[in-house]
Structure 1
Amino acid sequence: MPEWEERWPWDRIQTDKDTREAFLHESQPFVRQVASQASHRPLEWGRDEELSEAFVAFNEAIDNFDPERGVPFLAYARVLIKRRLIDYYRKQRSREALSLDQAEVGVAVEAVLSLHDFQEGVQNRERAAEIREYAQELGKWGLAFADLVEVSPKHRDSRETLLRAARILAQDKDLWQQAGAKGKVPMQALAQRTGIHPKVLERGRKYLLAVAILIANQHDYIYLREYVLPRKGEIKQ
């Protein structure tokens, strides 16, 4: 379980006013980061209306979040913030269209309608951006995105074993710090922690590490997680 989830139990965030306000206050940097990325410019509290919209979306994410679905909260909140900002810009452009003279109406209508295509394409662009960022992160660990197809386990049992090891590696604070300090998987320590033979871990080292990177950075790779990681309950714990 991620450290922030241990500090912020959902039953209290969603029902206790003081806990919710404290969580909202601590989450402001995250809200600002996501909104700035979606707006393609730096945003400042008290100056940019986009942040108010983003904060409303974050609040709605708290209200609607269901931990049992297995989707990380920050990933869910990120999607809701981006969707609300898309709607915000659509409404802004619609208002602008109402104030234009006749010569500009055609251009304005085209701009408003083009947002439909933008909304349909935004997920594809986000997926492409995730792949680029993930490829860069893999490079820091001496891995290449193109190699992952070759190293992916062909047998279900092997895949489940390595997925379990990857989860433990990414979610164990000490193990993941060791991995980051050395730039590689701490095989002996992970073998002791998981009970999996070191030779099995070594054979699946690249796959194991690539998946652990996804899990450790789960809020940054929303779409890639869906393709690579099984849903909650689909692998043995």
Structure 2
Amino acid sequence: MTRTALVTGGTRGIGKAVSLALQAAGYRVGAVYRSNTDAAQTFQKMTSVPVFQWDVADFEACRSGVAQVEQQLGPIDILVNNAGITRDGFLHKMDADQWWRVMNTNLGSVFNMSRHVIEGMRERGFGRIVNISSINGEKGQLGQTNYAAAKAGILGFTKSLALEGARKNVTVNAIAPGYCDTDMMASVPEQTLQAIIASIPVGRLGTAEEVARMVAFLVADEAGFITGATFDINGGQHM
């Protein structure tokens, strides 16, 4: 039986690598994006992975989006909550919009998406949810109170939902990547980037593909005894 996987933020960066890794593993994959239509269309043409556009911070948009995906691809067995944004700034200068945009997209979306697939997973007796957190949700980061709070919230969500789903063969795990060579890092000044790399014991940035391999491992049928866990992929930067 071919299972269906849905990846939010699935056409760029880590999400793109996850979509490709799951496709290579034999799953039917759908990728959700919000605004970068050109990148999404290019991704679909290159990979044949269907793409779906909606704002994962919107509960009702997630409801109708999930219904569309399930109509086209079948019931969602695997959900990878990867979508995320940054709106960095010191808290004493941060406005409410910066706070809530990050909280609603990075943490609220994990509820929105999980809520619309969890009942089906429980009824069918199988489900895999993988939530992408961050090293900064574990250790904090200057100028990222919003981002760090959202990513830390994902860890508590993961443990709690794992307990709820365990008897129904629905596993829920988190991955906390360190600094990876993705578009999100492209705007970092060179001097800052070199300082970041110097703080990583393995001496380099991670790759999206390294994170994707962990996702592929966790969603496999054979990974059913792993739930409520957080996997650090950060080159030894935070332990």
TM-score normalised to structure 1 length: 0.29
Comparing both structures, which one devotes a greater share of its residues to strand?
2
Higher RCO, 1 vs 2 (CA within 8 Å, ≥6 residues apart): 2
User: TM (normalized to structure 2)?
Assistant: 0.28
> For the pair shown, which has the larger CA radius of gyration, 1 or 2?
1
The structure where helix makes up a greater share of residues is 1
